[in-house]
Amino acid sequence: MGHTKQVVLASGNPGKLREIGSMLASLDMDIVPQSDYGLDGIAETGLSFVENALIKARHAAEQTGLPAIADDSGIEVDCLGGSPGIYSARYAGPDASDRDNLELLLETAFAVEPDKPAARFQCLMVYLEHAGDPTPVIAQGTWEGWLVREPRGENGFGYDPIFFVPDRGCTSAQLPPEIKNRISHRALALRELLDRLGHEPGGRAP
């Protein structure tokens, strides 16, 4: 395998795996989903995105002995005090579908703010060299927009169909994946993470 470095991706979310995998495809890094090691997710008991990302990365690094990348992301709506935030994936309950979450958010947000509720996607991404790494590399990406009442678009996942991207004039779910993977919160966080790693996990920038 030469000097290609294996890194475990601590996520079971197929949408995230697809997006992060394609963003990292050009690097000399072999990204292995944790499911390849038979790993399930771990309870996300943190009270912030960064705590949850660290919990996931540490668990994956511990179980596989590999460096790990994890992200925790979600949508924040201003008129709801930043909710659903870290609870985005389980907003309508522990077994809620993307559609359940999205419909509950529309109902709740538009009841409070009937005109273009301001919202943003947040992504906190972390890299751990090993499970006991005391200096994780942490990056953040933020994508500003607002909510639309009617879901639009077939791409993406989660809240993408109701998140309007002002400078593109459409929802996140209407963007071609290659555009979304350049401008989204996850893309911004990943770019920052790679900059901090000097583009080479294991070869951290000084």
Looking at the annotation, which residues are catalytic?
72
Q: Where are the beta strands (DSSP E) in 43-85?
A: 68-77
Characterize the bridge pairing of strands 170-171 and 163-165. antiparallel
- The three-class DSSP label of residue 157 is coil
What does each C-alpha distance from 133 to 43, 81, 85, 130, 141 come to in angstroms?
20, 33, 27, 5, 22
Q: The tokens of 144 are what?
A: 């500003």
What does the alpha-carbon distance between residue 70 and residue 58 come to, in Å, rounded to a whole number? 9
What does the alpha-carbon distance between residue 165 and residue 175 come to, in Å, rounded to a whole number? 9
Nearest by Cα to 201 from 131, 129, 136: 129
**Residue keyed to tokens 């005090």:** 81
Q: How many residues does the chain have?
A: 206
What does the alpha-carbon distance between residue 27 and residue 83 come to, in Å, rounded to a whole number? 35
